[in-house]
Amino acid sequence: MKNILITGGAGFIGSHLVRLLVRKYPDSLIVNLDKLTYAGNLLNLADIEKSPNYRFVKGDIVDEKLVFSLFKEYDIDTVVHLAAESHVDRSIANPMEFVHTNVTGTVNLLNAARHQWKNGSESNRFYHISTDEVYGSLGETGLFTEKTPYDPRSPYSASKASSDHFVRAYFHTYGMPVILSNCSNNYGPNQFPEKLIPLFINNIINKKPLPVYGKGENVRDWLYVIDHARAIDTILTKGRSGETYNIGGHNEWKNIDLIRLLCSIMDKKLGRPVGTSESLISFVKDRAGHDMRYAIDAGKVKMELGWEPSVSFEQGLEKTVDWYLSNEEWLRQVTSGNYLDYYREQYEER
């Protein structure tokens, strides 16, 4: 690896990955291309922004001229593609934005890589970061494996599935050296407070209601974000071209149970009487098309590449809460302005 383009590196997962790679590979150049949408934040990278092997470029992955010129200017040989619209509720409200960024943006990057690499050699790699949501929704038993047929059910997961198909099509059609991974729900520091855990932490701090969709019985498989970044590094350096790897925490939680655990941690940390945070729970109208259960079989990445999660959920959740409580300025900055309009539109009518 010499010149690595990371897209979406100012977002939640991207910023943890950029930090890991910048520190671990001082001889590689890490170029971070990010549009800085509402979800991108350069504060996430303040500690590494002056590193000699790091460059930030503000721009859109859909911008053909910009993307082609970046490949040339930095002689990019490796891509790790994370930039995306990532929130299911926003995709229900505005699907077209998801097609634009997640599908057209991905194909634009593939075209630029193909142009620069002339179909690619062993030293090139186009690594596409995807989600377990492309596999659809599980019943009470079973796990998603790499062979589970695609069955996306939200505009977000349909756009991610479409981008996955394009990436594989470039492998088969043009011999592009691609690799994919599909990960379960991430949590940890720097996650935008539209997603369940940071949204509820922020609401508990501010004594606002906790809007639980439906009966809170949906199940997600949670993974600490730094473990995801470690998995991406492992797959990038050791994974086989053309392969897909599922990544997950083997850590399934019913939403309501997770929320109760979070509430008890928050009461302790904030010095509030037991039960204070739980009293904020409010059951609201369910998400349209709400997938019931996700759970990943991460056996392949463990067997072939030796990766497994290192942080337990209890540890990870506590670290996450501590981070939000000691980064009030970050939280205040991202929950002002447009966030208030988003919150009103999403939750006032529920």
Task: Spot the catalytic one: 127, 156, 224, 324.
Answer: 156
Structure tokens given for 304? 């072939």
d(CA 330, CA 47): 14
Tell me which of 131, 137, 148, 251 binds ligand DAU, using CB under 6 A: 131
Chain residues binding ligand NAD by CB under 6 A are 7-8, 10-14, 33-37, 39-40, 60-62, 82-86, 101, 105, 129, 131, 160, 183, 185-186, 192
Q: Do 29 and 3 meet the contact criterion of CB atoms below 8 Å apart?
A: yes
Is 75 annotated in the active site?
Answer: no
d(CA 131, CA 164): 10
Cβ burial, residue 26 (10 Å; 0-12/13-18/19+): exposed
d(CA 312, CA 333): 29
128 binds ligand DAU (CB under 6 A): no
Under DSSP, is residue 202 helix (H, G, I), strand (E, B) or coil?
helix
224 binds ligand DAU (CB under 6 A): no
Task: Spot the catalytic one: 60, 77, 85, 133.
Answer: 133
C-beta closer to ligand DAU: residue 101 or 131: 131
Q: Do 129 and 183 meet the contact criterion of CB atoms below 8 Å apart?
A: yes
C-beta closer to ligand NAD: residue 57 or 270: 57
Residue 134 binding partner per list ligand DAU, ligand NAD, none, with a CB distance cut-off of 5 to 8 Å that depends on partner kind: none
Residue 180 binding partner per list ligand DAU, ligand NAD, none, with a CB distance cut-off of 5 to 8 Å that depends on partner kind: none
How much helix, strand and coil, in percent to the nearest 5, is found in the chain?
45, 15, 35
211 binds ligand DAU (CB under 6 A): yes
Strand partners, 211: 282
Identity of residue 300:
K
Task: Spot the catalytic one: 60, 85, 132, 227.
Answer: 132
Is 133 annotated in the active site?
Answer: yes
d(CA 233, CA 26): 14
Structure tokens given for 62? 């859909």
d(CA 251, CA 185): 10
Site string (39-78) toward ligand DAU, x via CB under 6 A: ----------------------------------------
C-beta closer to ligand NAD: residue 77 or 133: 133
185 binds ligand DAU (CB under 6 A): yes
Read off the DSSP letter of residue 144.
Answer: B
The CB-nearest residue to ligand NAD is 11
Tell me which of 196, 232, 317, 321 binds ligand DAU, using CB under 6 A: 196
Is 122 annotated in the active site?
Answer: no
User: Could you tell me which of 319, 277, 293 has the C-alpha nearest to residue 189?
Assistant: 319
Indicate which residues carry an active-site annotation. Answer: 132-133, 156
Question: Which residues contribute to the site for ligand DAU (CB under 6 A)?
Answer: 86-88, 131-133, 184-185, 195-196, 199, 211-213, 218, 220, 255, 287, 294
